[in-house]
Amino acid sequence: MPLGGVGVGVNVGAGPVGVLVGGFPAAATGLDIGRLELDRQRLDDRAAELRSDLNRLGREPAIRKQAIDAGLGQLSEPLVLTPR
């Protein structure tokens, strides 16, 4: 029997086994869809919350308040040095 014939037989026999084994992860994925959708919704909600915080905290009054709360004050008038 030629060697090529054995390889074809093994490939044909392995095909259905590969389909069966490959089907299990797809079935498991179907069971996890609800959990993944819930996780996705939580991540989307958190991202929206962070964008809102960035928009709010990025405005000048919020930055000024944070600086004052940290003990920083307003700058005095600059000193102007004359050249010699």
Instruction: Look at residue 1 in the predicted model and tell me its pLDDT.
Output: 47
DSSP-derived secondary structure for 6-36 = HHHHHHHHHHHHHHHHHHHHHHHHHHHHHHH
pLDDT in tens, 55-83: 877 777 878 888 889 998 887 888 889 99
Domain with 49, as residue range(s), is 42-68
Secondary-structure breakdown of the chain: helix, strand, coil percentages, each rounded to the nearest 5: 75, 0, 25
Q: Give dist(CA 38, CA 70) in Å, integer.
A: 39
Phi and psi at residue 66, to the nearest 5°:
-65, -40
Number of domains comprising the chain = 1
pTM to 2 decimal places: 0.40
In-domain check, residue 59: yes
In-domain check, residue 49: yes
pLDDT interval class at 28 (50, 70, 90): low
